[in-house]
Each structure stands twice: as C-alpha cells, then as structure tokens.
C-alpha cells in the first residue's frame, strides 16, 4: 500500500527567485497560446501523440521549456 502525505509549507523566495518564477510563468503562458493557435489552425487535432510529435521540439526551442 502506498501512503501519500500532503503538507502545507510557507515559502520565502528571494527577489531573484520570484523574478525567475514569473519569467517561467510567462513562457508557459506563451507556449500555451502557441499550442492553442496551432490547434485552431490545424482543424482541432487534439490527439496527445500527434500534438507532441508536431510541437515538442519547437516549444523547447522557442520557449525554453
């Protein structure tokens, strides 16, 4: 049997950590918008494997994710 524990912790990030996190959030948002545009432009192809094969390397390259 596997037991999962959830704990609540308070994080105190530095100003530079906050800035890096916000940059990562923005890049994630940009990547999501990119994927959304791709889906709309390609007849709503929603297959996970199809999207992965079409977009993975470009997202890594363009957005650094």
Q: In this structure, what DSSP letter does residue 42 have?
A: T
pTM attached to this predicted model: 0.75
The structural domains of the chain, with segments of one domain joined by +, span: 15-63
Query: Residue 9: phi, psi to the nearest 5?
Result: -130, 150
pLDDT in tens, 1-51: 899 999 999 999 999 999 999 999 999 999 999 999 999 999 888 899 999
């Amino acid at each position: 049997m596997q037991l999962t524990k959830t704990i609540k912790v308070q994080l105190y990030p530095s100003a530079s950590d906050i800035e890096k996190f916000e940059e990562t959030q923005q890049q994630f948002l940009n990547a999501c918008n990119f994927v959304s545009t791709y889906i709309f432009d390609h007849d709503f192809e929603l297959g996970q494997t199809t999207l992965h094969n079409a977009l993975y390397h470009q997202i890594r390259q363009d957005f650094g994710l």
